[in-house]
Amino acid sequence: MDQRVKKKATIYDLSVLSGSSPSTVSAVLNGTWRKRRIKESTAETILGLAERHQYTTNLQARGLRRSRSGLVGLMLPVHDNRYFSSMAQTFEGHVRSRGQCPVVVSASRDPEEERRTAETLISYSIDQLFIVGATDPDGVHEVCEPAGLKHINIDLPGAKAHSVISDNYEGARMLTEAIIRHFGNDAPLRPDELFLFGGRNDHASRERIAAFHATKKALLGADPEDGVQSSGYSPDITLRAFETFYQRHGKLPRALFINSSINMEGLLRFMAGRPAEMFSELVVGCYDYDPFGSFLPFPVIMVRQNVEAMITKAFELIDEPPMVPQTFLIAPELIQPRSALKGPLDTLKDIA
Amino acid sequence: MDQRVKKKATIYDLSVLSGSSPSTVSAVLNGTWRKRRIKESTAETILGLAERHQYTTNLQARGLRRSRSGLVGLMLPVHDNRYFSSMAQTFEGHVRSRGQCPVVVSASRDPEEERRTAETLISYSIDQLFIVGATDPDGVHEVCEPAGLKHINIDLPGAKAHSVISDNYEGARMLTEAIIRHFGNDAPLRPDELFLFGGRNDHASRERIAAFHATKKALLGADPEDGVQSSGYSPDITLRAFETFYQRHGKLPRALFINSSINMEGLLRFMAGRPAEMFSELVVGCYDYDPFGSFLPFPVIMVRQNVEAMITKAFELIDEPPMVPQTFLIAPELIQPRSALKGPLDTLKDIA
DNA sequence: TTGAAAGCGCTAACAT
DNA sequence: ATGTTAGCGCTTTCAA
């Protein structure tokens, strides 16, 4: 491509061209010139020159001087997931509307990586950090805190910073109940026919599992000990859990509580290559919402977490944090089978 | 939280503590000290002090001085989409392994926003920019070029910078053929029973539509003019297109070519609340891959674009760009119904 | 083997 | 109503 890269104009260039000082140019350019009582005509001249020379602020220089960057960070476990990517989408909208620049990165659910990532972002002097689904939120806190970086946990709570999470217990209770009720009275579900797959030793999973147990006991009067198959947040481990189950029992349960769309993909992998009829009696509850998942050939009841509300609350909290770390619960929503809901994309204009 | 934010240590602090000059400290800290012939012992002292005082480089200062930041940008149309978010996932891996910091932002398929976003990133002195699915790639080029920012188009090509895109014509040809062949010889598809929904006036859509027409003509011997319903990249516009079609014809086509998973969501919205039987005869080809979409109650043939190959090629090209702007085609893959493929997440370790 | 010093582009306190 | 100046923290010649 082209060789001659015209060096970018600086306030000094404009200062020379306009005959005013760098500080005047600076004030004009960043809008503080009214209160510096700079003549309208001076301002206009400078603005005109800036325009003509395509001046743009060097944000690294400004950031160095101000010791903040205008960047706002969002740290996700992974990008490739509808729940988290809709967080990113929603987050971006909020940050943009505040005139700042969103920066989205992922940290692979790895505590080390989470801390390293936070450190890197701090080195760029980001202004705020939103920590989503961190494996070790308090570890991240330990690096944010001494740097004076405002931060907040979302989706998985920490003990040392404010947290906004969805009401996992209530969501799982609704979901478990919905699964059980789905069977009605002709062929009511037996306690040993409902299993939970997925989950891990994190706050969300523990809450969901607790609600699952409690609701089973309340509605079915019993709850066999082996009703839960942890398989992390990995499709393949979940696949193996299903295979193991199938080998042992010769069939799948009639009803499944699946801990997330990622585990749900494990079920899909199990389905692949097996006859569709094998799943015709199945009823699934999935703690996550995916429009495609909602239309599978068997009933899939889903829980949708309220991403918009979580992000909104998180911004409120990060702006005026209460004195003592608190965790806020956001109510999720139960979604009946065959529902196609709107998402963050629907607010974007689109020209066909 | 805590009030006393210990100011971060700088090379000057270490310089005082170690009794050597800032430049020595700098050299030690960024690893160039061997070739500056600095005594091993000096280096060790400094490294030790850095450790003890939790020194971390101020990347804005370094960036200002070097006039580049170590940030590598990825500009997506939207986050909330499996295709694009898997790009982000793959991209991050590549950038991280090069010791740089990935920054993912979206620009809503809005040419203005695309340019503004590029400008902002340039103001932060990012080192490279990967432009995915831009509505106006050449507009973005016009802002990158004078700033001397290396950039490359992915998914949608531009005329002025190198581009890596998937082979949309061949993908759409395979997909159209697969849809038609799906019907076999007992109830062969008539040309007026196969419609394309979605798409827009961009390079990818044009190629796919061209292949769709050509393949219909080749295999079915005819191709009615009205076989294509453009509906952009919007679920709701696609929904309306289906409703209009349904009102006019009293039924859906037997076979659909759907231009992307976003348009596919329009079909889901149409399905919601309508009886499942209405879709029992349907055969769908979707130009995008989604594991859940693959298991819908009717056959869904999908095309998966090779994200890993595209990103890899893009990095190759941005590192050693050929003299003249070129477009590289990456072959996509035809996915049979009921397939659950692995994705970028599968390479992450996960502890259950 | 190391230090001094200039300067990246900007902001803000202090002059005038 | 505007100019001067001193940095922000780092890299990098050039000297020693």
Residues of chain A with CATH 1.10.260: 11-57
Q: Is the CB of B37 under 7 A from strand D?
A: no
Angstrom distance (rounded) from CA A272 to CA A240: 13
Angstrom distance (rounded) from CA A177 to CA A189: 11
Number of helices followed by number of strands (H, E) in chain A: 12, 12
Shortest CA gap B339–chain A (Å): 6
Name the residue among B2, B59, B351 with its Cβ closest to that of A123.
B59
Burial of B272 (0-12, 13-18, 19+ CB in 10 A): middle
Strand B333-335 to strand B300-304: parallel, antiparallel, or no bridges (unpaired)? antiparallel
| B295, A296 Cβ separation under 8 angstroms | yes
Nearest protein residue to the C1' atom of C8, measured from CA: B65
Contact B79 A88 (CB under 8 A): yes
| Angle made by CA atoms A171, A76, B58, in degrees to the nearest 5 | 145
| A245, A196 Cβ separation under 8 angstroms | no
Q: For residue A308, which of A93, A82, A76, A77 has the smallest C-alpha distance?
A: A93
Taking domain B68-166+307-331, whether its CATH number is 2.60.120.10 is answered by no
Distances (CA, A) of A221 to A180, A215, A224, A228: 12, 9, 10, 17
Predicted confidence at residue A113, as pLDDT, reads 95
Contact A345 B78 (CB under 8 A): yes
| CATH number for the segment(s) A168-304 | 3.40.50.2300
Measure, in angstroms, how far nucleotide D14 C1' is from residue B92 CA.
40
Nearest protein residue to the C1' atom of C13, measured from CA: A23
Predicted confidence at residue A186, as pLDDT, reads 87
| Backbone dihedral angles phi then psi of residue A214, each to the nearest 5 degrees | -60, -40
Helix (H) or strand (E) run with residue B308 in it: helix B307-319
Q: For residue A293, which of A245, A285, B303 has the smallest C-alpha distance?
A: A285
Residues of chain B with CATH 3.40.50.2300: 68-166+307-331, 168-304
In this structure, which CATH number among 1.10.10, 3.30.2320, 1.10.260, 1.20.120 belongs to the domain A11-57? Answer: 1.10.260
Mark the nucleotides of strand D covered by protein, meaning any atom under 7 Å from a CB.
Answer: 1-13
Predicted confidence at residue A4, as pLDDT, reads 56
Name the residue among A124, A269, A296 with its Cβ closest to that of B59.
A124
Measure, in angstroms, how far nucleotide C15 C1' is from residue A36 CA.
14
Helix (H) or strand (E) run with residue A141 in it: helix A137-144
B chain contacts of residue A230, beta-carbon cutoff 8 Å: 352
Predicted confidence at residue B194, as pLDDT, reads 96
Angstrom distance (rounded) from CA A175 to CA A105: 31
CA dihedral B199, B200, B202, B205 (to 10 degrees): 20
Three-state SS at A187:
coil
Q: Which amino acid appears at position A275 of this protein?
A: P
Contact A5 B81 (CB under 8 A): no
Nearest protein residue to the C1' atom of D7, measured from CA: A65
Spell out which residues of B between 143 and 202 contact strand D, using CB within 7 Å: none
End-to-end CA distance of chain A: 33
Mark the nucleotides of strand C covered by protein, meaning any atom under 7 Å from a CB.
Answer: 1-13
Three-state SS at B289:
coil
The token pair that represents A172 in the structure block: 């799982």
Interface residues for strand C (CB within 7 Å) are: A 7-8, 10-12, 22-23, 26-27, 29-30, 32, 55, 57-58, 61-62, 64-66; B 19-24, 36-39, 42, 61, 64-65, 67
Helix (H) or strand (E) run with residue A102 in it: strand A101-106
Angstrom distance (rounded) from CA A149 to CA A167: 27
Contact A124 B69 (CB under 8 A): yes
| A151, A144 Cβ separation under 8 angstroms | yes
Helix (H) or strand (E) run with residue B206 in it: helix B203-220
Angstrom distance (rounded) from CA B35 to CA B29: 13
Contact A105 B101 (CB under 8 A): yes
Predicted confidence at residue A2, as pLDDT, reads 42
Angstrom distance (rounded) from CA A175 to CA B68: 50
Angstrom distance (rounded) from CA A121 to CA A117: 6
Enter the DSSP assignment of A283. Answer: E
pLDDT along chain A (352 residues), means of 10: 69 94 94 90 94 95 95 97 97 95 95 96 97 98 95 97 98 98 92 95 96 96 86 93 96 97 97 94 97 98 98 96 93 98 85 48
Q: For residue B344, which of B312, B300, B297 has the smallest C-alpha distance?
A: B312
Distances (CA, A) of A307 to A312, A313, A316, A348, B88: 8, 10, 14, 17, 20
Contact A64 B60 (CB under 8 A): yes
CA B95 to chain centre: 14
Which regions of chain B are under pLDDT 70? Answer: 1-5, 350-352
- Minimum Cα–Cα distance from A198: chain B residue: B352
Angstrom distance (rounded) from CA B311 to CA B309: 6
Contact B78 A348 (CB under 8 A): yes
